[in-house]
Amino acid sequence: MTHLDGNAIGGLLNDVFGREATDASGRCRICGAENFVGALHVYRGAGVVVRCPTCHSVLMRFVESRDQVWVDLNGLLGSGLEPLRETRIHVVHSGQVVDGRAEP
Ligand SMILES: [Zn+2]
């Protein structure tokens, strides 16, 4: 499966984080490799999956539906990236929506 790099989703990242994110650097939770977001491997399918270029673990996942976005950043450490606190953006952790805005 071919992949793009993080720059290919710069618009989506700007939308979710409210700032340029491709020049943020983050560490892989699994192998510890540190990379700029722009250098991460991006796979587009039903959603957007961002993988570590070193060990291919999933670092971030984005699922867009209409104007809503679900964001899972569990694999990425220390990036300093925080999704905007907006009702259209849902933060997911281990499959659970944890932003407190979703219905329980
Ligand atoms: Zn890794």
User: What pLDDT shows up at residue 51?
Assistant: 97
Residue 103 belongs to some domain of the structure: no
Residue 13 belongs to some domain of the structure: yes
One digit per residue, pLDDT tens: the chain, 104 residues?
A: 689 999 999 999 999 999 999 999 999 999 999 999 999 999 999 899 999 999 999 999 999 999 999 999 999 999 999 999 999 999 998 778 876 554 43
CA distances from 63 to 5, 35, 72, 86 (A): 17, 22, 9, 15
| H runs (alpha helix) in 1-104 | 10-17
* One-letter amino acid of 79: S
* Whether the model pTM is above 0.85: yes
Ligand 1 geometric centre to CA of 87 (Å): 31
Residue 86 belongs to some domain of the structure: yes
Ligand 1 geometric centre to CA of 40 (Å): 10
User: What pLDDT shows up at residue 24?
Assistant: 97
Residue 53 belongs to some domain of the structure: yes
User: What pLDDT shows up at residue 97?
Assistant: 82
Residue 104 belongs to some domain of the structure: no
Q: Give the structural domain span for 13.
A: 4-97
Q: What total number of domains does the chain contain? A: 1
